[in-house]
A and B are shown apart, each in its own frame.
Chain A
Amino acid sequence: MFLLLPFDSLVVNLLGISLTVLFTLLLVFIIVPAIFGVSFGIRKVYMKTLLKIFQWATLRIERGAKEKNHPLYKPYVNGIIAKEPTSLEEEIKEIRRSGSGKALDTPEFELSDIFYFCRKGIETIMDDEVTKRFSAEELESWNLLSRTNYNFQYISLRLTVLWGLGMLIRYCFLLPLRCKEFLSKHVHLMCYRICVRALTAIITYHDRENRPRNGGICVANHTSPIDVIILASDGYYAMVGQIHGGLMGVIQRAMVKACPHVWFERSEVRDRHLVAKRLTEHVQDKSKLPILIFPEGTCINNTSVMMFKKGSFEIGATVYPVAIKYDPQFGDAFWNSSKYGMVTYLLRMMTSWAIVCSVWYLPPMTRQPEEDAVQFANRVKSAIARQGGLVDLLWDGGLKREKVKDTFKEEQQKLYSKMIVGNHEDRSRS
């Protein structure tokens, strides 16, 4: 037992030294640059290396799949639906023509018209534009995270070893590193910058001269709570949003103590006049910080921009649109709040490779006299979608949790009736 003691103290000493070294490294390479806003460029190298590894991994998988003779499903190259999106009238005429081969005067109604609705319905069951926005994006290549792995099964030993190594690194090395930094917070801006480094976030800001100014409203597309960290580390904002429970609520309450944010209860959010009044008061005071709002109202998976709620566009202040696009290869930033909570989400973020995103500050927009709030909202939305390379959808993000309104069905019915009855009128005239 006596022999062990000197050995023990040696081990303890070594441990102590290595810990000190680790902390100094942390301090030098991460915290100090964060305070001064300087970057070392290490992360860029890290990113490049990761990309090369992903490409190699995907090639191996494709080769493996070819050997087994199972062509892989690529969501964007060979989709499962042979779609030719044309109008309702065109498609029904096509069906009638191919079926009966009768005379060209289109009869008012045919039994085969049902095929059009039938086919459209089945197509949406197989793949629709809306529900896939509320789950993580499908990737063409694999990024060694099993959570994005739809296609790729066990292919080769080498790949599995690489994946195992990747997991080891992510859970045992990157995670503890990030946890330590996450727990130390002092000043707001510095804190955000540390968070950014903590998540190994590589953010590229474009057009910084268009950054939002006091008395304006900053509008952005929403993918995750990290959007807030990304924007707030490059400027000062007052935030508007829903009070959440759990860890998120704690963070919100802590933030209120430092800055004049505007948090609402869920029941209050429905009272739009109250919200509008508070926002207008805040905006008219020119000394107050610009308000940061996410008009989609919920997190979308960053492949599209959904309907903007018109509330923030009715106030009449200058709107500064911002487009945020994450690179999905390094880690999926989307927070699927109906599937898992904040803590699980943070864990996922901290165990991905990195958060790589681009932020574009678009030139400010104001509402023109002849357009109403909805049109203005759509105009801003299109600008953001175009800049970020996202699909511009008219669907409401609220469809994540609620059912669709009946008015859309009535529109379809109206279109079809016009088609049958229109022809009927032509007939009766002749």
Chain B
Amino acid sequence: MGSRASTLLRDEEIEEIKKETGFSHSQITRLYSRFTSLDKGENGTLSREDFQRIPELAINPLGDRIINAFFPEGEDQVNFRGFMRTLAHFRPIEDNEKSKDQNGPEPLNSRSNKLHFAFRLYDLDKDDKISRDELLQVLRMMVGVNISDEQLGSIADRTIQEADQDGDSAISFAEFVKLRC
């Protein structure tokens, strides 16, 4: 149990993950314990059911979308590297990182990547646009049955109106980012 977790993750792997995601050594070992405790099948990967077993996640209205974000296109299992890569988006931006050089690859937790993560939660078909339907879907997930279709429709229309600048009745990533500035 405990000793198994720390022996299966080799030091070189920890270094690689550290470089890719920016998490510290102890954070990585901690998250590896968490990964193994979620992995009930003990095969080194997590499936969607493993995530859904977390009650507080199952009651989150956007739970399913968030779980989907961990799985790459068309796959049903995520390994520890993929797990960490997705979690890395949520690491707070530290002060010493803001002034890093612009030549290296963009860190996973940059502002732009964080916004991209949220954008992908809306944009199901991955066409880089949030259409009215996609927005309605997410809205419906967040409010459940408590708001009527017409009211929800008008909320969606108003939001798109405010955000849309090139007149295509959809929100592109650039327009999404502008909203948050």
Contact = CB atoms under 8 A, between A and B. Distances in A.
**Are A and B physically bound partners?**
yes
Interface of A: 70-73, 80, 82, 99-100, 108-115, 117-122, 124-132, 135-136, 146-151, 153, 395, 399, 403-404, 408-414, 416-418, 420-421, 424
20 contacts: A72-B26, A82-B92, A99-B180, A108-B155, A109-B158, A110-B179, A111-B179, A114-B138, A117-B66, A125-B51, A125-B87, A136-B1, A150-B2, A150-B5, A151-B6, A404-B59, A409-B60, A410-B144, A412-B61, A420-B143
B87 A414 contact: no
A122 B66 contact: yes
B21 to A, nearest CB: 13
A73 B27 contact: yes
A111 B175 CA distance: 11
Nearest to B70: A125
Interface string B77-114: 00000000001001010000000000000000000000
A122 B56 contact: no
B29 interface: yes
Contact of A120 (B37, B60, B92): B60
Given A111-B171, A122-B66, A420-B147, A404 B58 contact: yes
B19 interface: no
Nearest to A395: B55
Contacts of A111: 122, 130, 159, 163, 171, 176, 179
A417 B38 CA distance: 32
Interface of B is mostly: helix
Nearest to A340: B1
B56 to A, nearest CB: 4
Contacts of B60: 117, 120-121, 124, 409, 412
A109 B56 contact: no
A410 B38 CA distance: 25
- Give the most central of A73, A82, A111: most B CB within 10 Å: A111
Contacts of B43: none
A421 B147 contact: yes
B34 A150 contact: no
Interface in B32-68: 33-34, 37-38, 51-63, 66
B142 interface: yes
B52 A413 contact: no
Nearest to B28: A73
B59 A412 contact: yes
B165 interface: no
A205 to B, nearest CB: 32
Contacts of A117: 60-62, 66, 142
Which 4 pairs between the two chains have the least Cβ-Cβ distance? A413-B144, A417-B146, A73-B26, A408-B59
B57 to A, nearest CB: 5
Contacts of B118: 112, 114-115, 118
B144 A417 contact: yes
Contacts of A147: 1-3
Interface of B: 1-3, 5-6, 24-27, 29-31, 33-34, 37-38, 51-63, 66, 87, 90, 92, 117-118, 121-122, 130, 138-139, 142-147, 151, 155, 158-159, 163, 171, 176, 179-181
A126 B87 contact: yes
Nearest to B135: A111
A132 B56 CA distance: 12
A412 B142 CA distance: 8
Nearest to B155: A109
Contacts of A113: 142
B144 to A, nearest CB: 3
B176 A71 contact: no
B107 to A, nearest CB: 17
A150 to B, nearest CB: 5
Nearest to A405: B59
Contact of A130 (B54, B143, B158): B54
B155 A124 contact: no
Nearest to B63: A121
B57 A399 contact: no
B56 A129 contact: yes
B140 to A, nearest CB: 10
A115 B26 CA distance: 27
A404 B55 contact: yes
A414 B159 contact: no
Given A114-B121, A409-B63, 12 more contacts: A72-B26, A73-B27, A80-B31, A111-B179, A112-B118, A114-B118, A115-B118, A122-B87, A135-B37, A149-B2, A149-B6, A410-B144
B158 to A, nearest CB: 8
B180 A414 contact: no
B3 A71 contact: no
B53 A73 contact: no
Contacts of A128: 54-57
Nearest to A406: B59
B3 to A, nearest CB: 5
A332 to B, nearest CB: 10
A129 B55 CA distance: 9
A150 B29 contact: yes
A82 B30 CA distance: 15
Given A119-B90, A130-B55, A399-B55, A110 B5 contact: no
Given A100-B180, A111-B159, A409 B52 contact: no
